[in-house]
A and B are shown apart, each in its own frame.
Chain A
Amino acid sequence: MLASVFIVMGSLILIVGVIVFNGAPSLSLQILTQTSEGGFYLGAGGGFLNAIVGSLLLALPATGLAFIIGIAIALYLQKDFLNPSIANFIRICLDILWGVPSVVYGVFCLTIMIAIGMTGGSVLFGIIALTLLEIPIITRSIDESIKMVPAGLKETAYSLGSTKVETAMKVVRRQAMPGIIAGVLLGFGRGIGDAASILLTVGDSNYFPTSLSDQTAALPTMILNLVSMPDQVVQNKAYAVAFVLLMIVLLISIITRYLTKKSSKHIIK
């Protein structure tokens, strides 16, 4: 018990410590509020606001899309709608997709891009890659939380004359809400931090993307690009980027905790 707490806390403190220690010297208001100048990776000035904005413009729509698709699949997977053996087969498929390395989603989207003759990269295909990456995570998390809804509660809803859809949307959804929120966070966390799926699909840019077909910078790919540079000063900027990524995830966790608590108010135990 104590050992596991120690290991978890220890590694967390170590990771955060290294990021802050190395990143803090490079962190400045300028680096947070400006876009990159040409030659940013070679030590030129500017900041990485373009990557922060790019990452959010990729991960937020992707999470939204994956959520809409995921909750629809998850509700449909319940035995009220679908034969359990078919549903379990789909669950296995989703679990396999969950385990697929994210670079595969990137390559998959790249293949499509090449097939339709697109070069470079685009926000659109980045969003598609992240959506595909997040769908299995969000779907299965929501699915599990819906499965935990007590049978008696569903019976109650049915006995009041609810249809299947009313039962799912008005009763089951409310009871499963904390789990649904947690699933969405899990998906978002994976999406915003993943480099491999967008490395091949979004390209890079020193500006804010203004359309779906623009290339864009993103935090995880920027970290990769920065650490692969030989200059120590440039490498340290990678830690600053990682720090910002960490803060975004932390912020989302806090918001999620708040929403989970709020939605737990009416839960039946």
Chain B
Amino acid sequence: MENPKTIQIETKALNVAIHNNQVLKNIDIQIPAKQLTAIIGPSGCGKTTLLKSFNRLLEIQDGIKIEGEIVVDGINIMSSGLNVPDIRKKMGLISQKPYPLPMSIFENVAYGLRIHHDKNQKELAEAVQNCLQEVGLWSEVKDRLHDPASRLSVGQQQRLCLARAIAVQPEVILCDEPTSALDPIAAQQIEKLLLKLKKDFTVILVTHTLRQAKRVADHVIFLYFGKVVEQGTAAEFFNNPKNPETKAYLAGEIS
């Protein structure tokens, strides 16, 4: 890379097989800190799998075989003897379909604070308010903080998930097609939020819409059939792609 940026996550020869099906093949990527990296590629190419390998969430399924290194802040998180919850704590995950926890709006945001920090009621309330303000949800929910989170609209739920993730104070926010279940307005809100959040967090956004990647990404990784075909800055990637497959994908010839 031409300008030296701090690298948040680096994978070395990462291979993942699910039930003997080789899903990720020799992934070598570098994800710069405090930037928005988009992972793009057609359906089934392994985007979700790659994202979930970063916080070791893959291994809760069965039939998973992972080889290679994933280096986060200089530590290979695949090495044995590490406390997995601590690794996950560093990375907030926003999934395609928002999953509020079965508790109130307030308790959803407070959840991570309760399990990781010893906070008194007042500090807790303040932190919850801050996180909800950060995602622009505070004014919408401040009068019904103790309502079930499931009563929020899907767009609101997705922002709640973001608030809940940042409450844990992660370094990285992993987003798996966070806007695909949302209407255009709600999707735009999330996009704007991610752009705002990249000042404080490293944001990784899995998306299958090229236009979204073009709008928000600083850095792009193109996955195709489990392989990294091309990675680089967004400007390079979109204006001057090197690989013929990237060109074909950008031209809409493969999807």
A residues at B contact (CB < 8 Å): 79-80, 84, 150, 152-163, 166, 170-171, 174-175, 265-269
Contacts and interface: CB of A to CB of B under 8 A. Distances in A.
A97 B103 CA distance: 35
**Chain B CB within 10 A, most for which of A157, A161, A163, A267:** A161
Given A156-B93, A160-B168, A161-B86, 19 more contacts: A84-B62, A152-B99, A153-B102, A155-B95, A156-B95, A156-B101, A158-B60, A159-B55, A159-B57, A159-B88, A160-B111, A160-B165, A161-B89, A174-B103, A266-B102, A266-B149, A267-B148, A268-B100, A268-B102
Nearest to B165: A160
Nearest to B56: A158
A166 B115 contact: yes
A160 B84 CA distance: 11
22 contacts: A84-B62, A155-B57, A156-B161, A159-B57, A159-B91, A159-B93, A159-B165, A160-B88, A160-B92, A160-B115, A160-B165, A161-B89, A161-B115, A170-B111, A170-B115, A171-B101, A171-B102, A265-B148, A266-B103, A266-B148, A267-B102, A268-B150
Interface of B: 55, 57, 60, 62, 85-86, 88-89, 91-93, 95, 97, 99-104, 111-112, 115-116, 148-150, 161, 164-165, 168
A162 B150 contact: no
Given A159-B91, A161-B112, A166-B115, A153 B104 contact: no
A143 B61 CA distance: 19
Contacts of A166: 115
Contacts of A84: 62
Contacts of A161: 85-86, 88-89, 112, 115-116, 168
Contacts of A153: 99, 101-102
Given A152-B97, A158-B60, A170-B111, A163 B85 contact: yes
Contacts, number: 78
Nearest to B89: A161
Contacts of B100: 268
A269 B97 CA distance: 12
A155 B55 CA distance: 11
A80 B161 CA distance: 23
Contacts of B86: 161
Nearest to B92: A159
Contacts of B104: 266
Given A159-B88, A159-B93, A154 B148 contact: no
Contact of A160 (B97, B102, B112, B148): B112
A38 B149 CA distance: 60
A80 B62 CA distance: 10
A163 B84 CA distance: 8
A252 to B, nearest CB: 25
A160 B164 contact: yes
B85 A175 contact: no
A256 B50 CA distance: 45
A152 to B, nearest CB: 5
A43 to B, nearest CB: 56
Contacts of A162: 85, 115
Contacts of A158: 57, 60, 85, 88
A158 B89 CA distance: 9
Given A160-B115, A161-B89, A80 B60 contact: yes
A145 B93 CA distance: 26
A174 B42 CA distance: 37
A269 B85 CA distance: 26
B116 A175 contact: no
B150 A266 contact: yes
Residue among B92, B111, B148 facing the most chain A CB atoms (10 A cut-off): B111
A136 to B, nearest CB: 26
Nearest to B94: A159
A37 to B, nearest CB: 53
B95 to A, nearest CB: 6
B97 A157 contact: no
Contacts of A150: 99
Contacts of A80: 60
A80 B84 CA distance: 14
Most-contacted residue by chain A among B93, B95, B101, B161 (CB, 10 A): B101
Nearest to A156: B99
Closest 7 CB pairs of A and B: A161-B89, A159-B93, A156-B99, A174-B102, A266-B102, A175-B102, A266-B148
